[in-house]
């Protein structure tokens, strides 16, 4: 007759490599018998002692994993930080680029708003799932093959960030300068190099495009000056808000007036679905980015005024 102990041991052994089963069988049975005997000596009935000892050992599958040295997680704690950094990069950099390219291709192929939205949603779901699956699977496989030693960098005291209230980090100077430079470059190059027919309305070179270039240059100068002074203040937040509005408000106004894109550019004819989608993207992008920028710098300035430390 199969006893409760036999059933428990058999369940645990099925997850143990065959070459280890005999030794673990003897070790596990001896451990259970000792535990049952101790409970019986303490006054428990044999059946209750057996059940109590087995319950104390827990799930036999988990016990078998401990005996065989198997991992209890897909991604272990040693390489989890590297996996997390990779996933953040994939979903904040790669995924938006792929989705944007997909939307542009769809606009050029068939500018129907329904198909554009459907293509974007499909790309987000499909590409996002593939990025998560293949990246996670690769990390899990490398960890089980034992080739992730380079990802297990030991932590030292040098890894502690420095904290100072209101200090402007070096990492903030780069995007504050690079993005205006890229916008200026894109504005100029689209007019003269990318295509015979510019994407943006060339009529705005009479005032609005030079105005926008001048404001972007002021933003670069402001970013460098803020970095040199090394601190966020209320004055800094106020100047940042003014510059952000000087950039966004004219662009949004031009978009509302259908004066952003060149009506002669293929696919962007007045009244077309592609023009509507492109205009909405411009309005939403500048509106969200401007609000985010103003609020973020204002919060940093307020934290600095209250002396709340931040990593630099």
Name the H helices within the chain: 4-13, 18-41, 46-57, 60-68, 80-89, 95-109, 113-145, 170-192, 208-229, 234-256, 273-305
Mean pLDDT of 106-133: 78
The secondary structure of residue 166, as a DSSP letter, is T
Query: What distance separates the 2 farthest-apart alpha carbons in the chain?
Result: 98
What percent of the chain is modeled with pLDDT above 90?
14
Mean pLDDT of 19-28: 83
Using the predicted structure, report yes or no on whether residue 46 has a pLDDT greater than 60.
yes
Instruction: Indicate the domain borders of the chain.
Output: 4-68, 80-157, 161-311
Closest CA to 281 of 219, 177, 199, 222: 199
Q: pLDDT value at position 291?
A: 93
Nearest-angstrom CA–CA distance, 311 and 165: 8
Q: pLDDT value at position 111?
A: 62
Using the predicted structure, report yes or no on whether residue 156 has a pLDDT greater than 80.
no
Mean pLDDT of 204-229: 90
Confidence of residue 3 (pLDDT cuts 50, 70, 90): confident
Nearest-angstrom CA–CA distance, 226 and 240: 10
Least confident interval from 15-19, 258-262, 288-292: 15-19
Intra-chain end-to-end CA distance of the chain, in Å: 70
Using the predicted structure, report yes or no on whether residue 79 has a pLDDT greater than 60.
yes
Average pLDDT, the chain: 81
178 phi, psi to nearest 5 deg: -65, -45
What percent of the chain is modeled with pLDDT above 70?
82
Confidence of residue 308 (pLDDT cuts 50, 70, 90): low
Choice between 198 and 162, residue whose per-residue pLDDT is larger: 198
Choice between 18 and 200, residue whose per-residue pLDDT is larger: 200
Query: 217-230 burial by CB neighbour count: b if 16+ within 10 A, else e?
Result: ebbbebbeebbeee
Using the predicted structure, report yes or no on whether residue 27 has a pLDDT greater than 60.
yes
Using the predicted structure, report yes or no on whether residue 1 has a pLDDT greater than 50.
no
Mean pLDDT of 34-48: 88
Using the predicted structure, report yes or no on whether residue 87 has a pLDDT greater than 80.
yes
Confidence of residue 72 (pLDDT cuts 50, 70, 90): low
Mean pLDDT of 256-280: 84
Q: pLDDT value at position 71?
A: 64
* pLDDT per position as a tens digit, 227-254: 887 778 888 889 999 999 999 999 999 9
Mean pLDDT of 113-141: 83
Confidence of residue 211 (pLDDT cuts 50, 70, 90): very high
Q: pLDDT value at position 160?
A: 63
Least confident interval from 30-34, 150-154, 217-221: 150-154
């Amino acid at each position: 007759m199969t006893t409760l102990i036999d059933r428990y041991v058999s369940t645990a052994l099925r997850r143990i490599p065959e070459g280890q089963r005999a030794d673990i069988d003897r070790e596990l049975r001896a451990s259970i018998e000792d535990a049952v005997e101790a409970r019986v000596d303490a006054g428990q009935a044999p059946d209750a002692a057996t059940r109590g000892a087995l319950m104390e050992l827990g799930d036999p599958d988990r016990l078998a994993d401990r005996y065989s040295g198997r991992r209890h997680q897909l991604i272990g704690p040693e390489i989890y930080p590297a996996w997390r950094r990779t996933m953040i990069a994939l979903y904040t950099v790669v995924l938006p680029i792929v989705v944007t390219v997909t939307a542009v291709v769809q606009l050029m192929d068939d500018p129907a708003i329904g198909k554009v939205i459907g293509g974007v949603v499909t790309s987000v779901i499909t590409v996002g799932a593939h990025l998560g699956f293949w990246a996670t699977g690769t990390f899990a496989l490398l960890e089980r093959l034992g080739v992730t030693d380079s990802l297990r960098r030991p932590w030292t005291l040098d890894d502690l960030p420095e904290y100072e209230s209101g200090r402007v980090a070096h990492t903030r100077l780069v995007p504050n300068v690079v993005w205006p430079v890229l916008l200026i470059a894109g504005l100029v190059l689209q007019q003269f190099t990318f295509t015979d027919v510019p994407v943006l309305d060339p009529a705005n070179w009479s005032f609005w495009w030079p105005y926008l270039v001048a404001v972007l240059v002021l933003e670069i100068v402001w970013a460098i000056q803020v970095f040199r002074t090394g601190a966020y203040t209320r004055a800094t937040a106020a100047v940042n808000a003014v510059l952000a509005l000087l950039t966004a408000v004219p662009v949004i106004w031009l978009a509302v007036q259908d004066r952003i894109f060149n009506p002669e550019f293929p696919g962007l004819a007045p009244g077309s679905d592609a023009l509507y989608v492109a205009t909405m993207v411009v309005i939403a992008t500048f509106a969200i980015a401007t609000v985010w920028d103003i609020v973020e710098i204002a919060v940093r300035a307020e934290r600095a005024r209250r002396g709340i430390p931040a990593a630099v």
